[in-house]
Amino acid sequence: MELLSNIGSAMAALMFGWAMFQQYFPYNLRGSLDRYILKLTAIFYPYIQITFPEFTADRLKRSEAYVTIQNYLTANSSASAKRLKADVVKDSTQSVLLSMDDHEEVVDVFDGVKVWWSSGMTISKSQSLSLYPAVDRRYFTLTVHRRHRDAVTTDYIAHVLKEGKAIASRKRQRKLYTNNPSKDWSGWKATKWSHIVFEHPACFDTLAMAEHAKEGIKKDLIKFSQGKHYYNKIGKAWKRGYLLYGPPGTGKSTMIAAMANFLNYDIYDLELTTVKDNSELRKLLIETTSKSIIVIEDIDCSLDLTGQRKGKKKAGKSGEGDGDEAENEKEPLAKAKKDAENAEGKSDDSKVTLSGLLNFIDGIWSACAGERIIVFTTNYVDKLDPALIRRGRMDKHIEMSYCSFEAFKLLARNYLDIEAHELFADIEVLLGETKMTPADVAENLMPKSDDEDATDVCLKELVEALQAAKEKDARPKVEEEEEEAMVNKADAAPEEK
């Protein structure tokens, strides 16, 4: 390849020499000589070269194509390059990133076509007349045989850019955002969202739930993340809503972390109780970036979302109108309070309403480019208004349930490194008869010591815990209620004195 470059340089020199020399030639001969020189160059050097400079023409920005190609070459050719540059990535792993050194060359093959990449650098000389600081200008040069020109300039370069972008998105640091109260939205360093690096280790492999359900969710996520053209075609915003429901400790939050890790998305943890009104909610949502999961945990506790809808229904209205209408139908006291607020000049839009939330989910932000997933979690799915969770708004409902034997086996594999044990049979029976969350099972499976029999101890403890839970479940409800009433009475007694 070095030979190719040398020949290339020689040909370039020849062309330059000719350009200087041709002014001494009679005008009518120049055109034919031009053609001959070009033909001669083509015979000896049938390659074309495409250069990708590091900075844009105005020198203000790093070229996106250069960075993308650098990612592609780093991932695909660092094995074949002989000289590499090392960079320490400043994340928690402090890993070393190798990339092609300056003036290094590598070969790539695409659809049977061989191409050569080389990295070069020009060092700026005197900058006395320039407004810009002296910088070394790096570039990549792609060399390819003339006959493959079309295939390379269209398909191959598109392939490199696509792969490079995918690599960049895989290696970027992901973030966990939380919303700030609106009083912090102005002033120096004002931001609506604060963030930290998201490094939750959860993944689908360690998530204990039925295997077929897990596979279904993974497939759904992949289909969504690759569905740009589909969503464009059907004219819908590129978003998908998931409702995760189930008792505490069944892995809803863990599932969200696993989803984010699976798709390589950021997480926006939206705390609705600090959002004052619909316009604040709009501003927050508009600021979210693409490739993100927006999470509203415990939707039933965050706001009285259900109450407002129910108020409207009770008043005999049908359809899904604005939540403010619903408020007008509420008790007279609330209405009087609202009228008073309006008289004081406060807008109708005085708090986050169900309708506000639904409007966003229904596509008010279709103007925002890119893909977003919205996840709601709740412990009590029955408490939610059906309008909030109907299909189309929440596209997929996922039940996170008590620990099954299948889920237990996965936890045992993760926590204790075992595939089988003599107590497994008992545990299978007991899990079928009780309701224990994966969180409680996992708690029992955490070895309390480094002793050799730690596994046996853990499993025995789990069997005991399951038996205790079974006995508790078997006791008649009335007995339990009576006991609870006694405890309450005992608690209340000192105050009565």
Ligand X SMILES: Nc1ncnc2c1ncn2[C@@H]1O[C@H](COP(=O)(O)OP(=O)(O)OP(=O)(O)O)[C@@H](O)[C@H]1O
State the residues that interact with ligand X by CB under 6 A: 207-209, 248-254, 379, 400, 438-439, 442
User: Residue 267: exposed, middle, or buried by beta-carbon count in 10 A (0-12, 13-18, 19+)?
Assistant: buried
Report the nearest approach of ligand X to the CB of residue 153 (Å). 49
Q: Which is closer to ligand X, CB of 264 or CB of 414?
A: 414
Minimum distance of Mg ion from residue 189's CB (angstroms): 30
Q: How far is the CB of 377 from ligand X (least distance, A)?
A: 6
CB atoms under 10 Å from CB of 160, counted, come to 25
And the tokens for 158? Answer: 């598109």
Closest C-alpha among 148, 175, 158, 197 to residue 68? 158
Q: Which is nearer to Mg ion, 271 or 324 (CB)?
A: 271
User: Do 416 and 445 form a contact (C-beta atoms < 8 A)?
Assistant: yes
CA distance 98 to 101: 9
Q: In the complex, what is the shortest distance from the CB of residue 459 to ligand X, in angstroms, rounded to a whole number?
A: 17
Q: Which residue has the tokens 């039940």?
A: 399
- State residue 116 phi and psi, 5-degree precision: -120, 135
For the bound state, the minimum distance from the C-beta of residue 231 to Mg ion, rounded and expressed in Å, comes to 29
- Three-class secondary structure of residue 281 per DSSP: helix
Residues 192-231 close enough to bind Mg ion by CB under 5 A: none
Cβ neighbors of 165 (< 8 A, separation 6 or more) are 68, 71
Q: Closer to Mg ion at the Cβ: 248 or 321?
A: 248
Residue 439 binds which entry of ligand X, Mg ion, none, CB below 5-8 Å type-dependent: ligand X
CB count in 10 Å sphere of residue 106: 19
Of the two residues 323 and 438, which places its CB atom closer to ligand X in the complex? 438
CB of 266 to ligand X, least distance (A): 19
Distance CA 347, CA 419 (A): 61
How far apart are alpha carbons 312 and 319 in whole angstroms? 10
> Read out DSSP for 220-286?
HHHHHHT-HHHHHHHT--SEEEEEEE-STTSSHHHHHHHHHHHHT-EEEE--GGG--SHHHHHHHHH
Q: Which residue has the tokens 């350009």?
A: 19
Of the two residues 78 and 178, which places its CB atom closer to Mg ion in the complex?
Answer: 178
Q: Which of these segments, 135-143, 249-257, 271-279, 316-324, binds Mg ion (CB under 5 A)?
A: 249-257
Q: Which CB sits closer to Mg ion, 257 or 285? A: 257
CA–CA separation, 65 and 85 (whole Å): 20
* Half-sphere exposure in the Cβ direction for 440 (13 Å, CA): 19
Amino acid of residue 334: A
- Using the minimum distance from each CB to ligand X, give the nearer residue, 100 or 208: 208
The item of Mg ion, ligand X, none sharing an interface with residue 438, based on CB under 5 to 8 Å by kind, is ligand X
Using the minimum distance from each CB to ligand X, give the nearer residue, 206 or 279. Answer: 206
Question: Per rule CB under 5 A, is residue 254 in the interface with Mg ion?
Answer: no
* Binds 466: which of Mg ion, ligand X, none (CB < 5-8 Å by kind): none
> Between 439 and 465, whose beta carbon lies closer to ligand X?
439
Beta bridge partners of 268: 177, 294
The one of ligand X, Mg ion, none whose footprint includes residue 209, by CB under 5 to 8 A per kind, is ligand X
Q: Minimum distance from CB of 264 to ligand X (Å)? A: 20
**Distance in Å, CB of 440 to ligand X, minimum:** 8
The entry of Mg ion, ligand X, none that residue 294 binds, CB within 5 to 8 Å by partner kind: none
Least Å distance, CB 252 to Mg ion, is: 5
**β strands within 325-429, DSSP E:** 372-378, 396-399
Q: Largest Cα–Cα distance of the chain, in whole Å?
A: 121
Report helix angle 157-171 to 64-77, nearest 10: 80
Judged by CB under 5 A, the number of residues near Mg ion is 2
Which of Mg ion, ligand X, none does residue 311 bind to, with CB < 5 to 8 Å depending on kind? Answer: none
* Gap between the Cα atoms of 237 and 371, Å rounded: 8
Please identify the residue of the shown chain whose CB is closest to the bound ligand X: 251
Go through 200-233 and write b for each residue having 16 or more CB atoms within 10 A of its CB, e for each that does not. Answer: eebebeebbbeeeebeebeeebeebbebeeebee
Q: Which of residues 473-492 bind Mg ion (CB under 5 A)?
A: none
CA distance 395 to 284: 22
Cβ of residue 253: shortest distance to ligand X, in angstroms?
3
Q: Which is nearer to Mg ion, 239 or 252 (CB)?
A: 252
- Which of 177, 376 has the CB closer to Mg ion? 376
Near Mg ion by CB under 5 A, which window of 90-98, 238-246, 251-259, 457-465? 251-259
Residues 40-79 that bind Mg ion (CB under 5 A): none
249 binding partner (options ligand X, Mg ion, none; Cβ < 5 to 8 Å by kind): ligand X
Among 41, 179, 253, 355, binds Mg ion (CB under 5 A): 253
Residues that bind Mg ion (CB under 5 A): 252-253
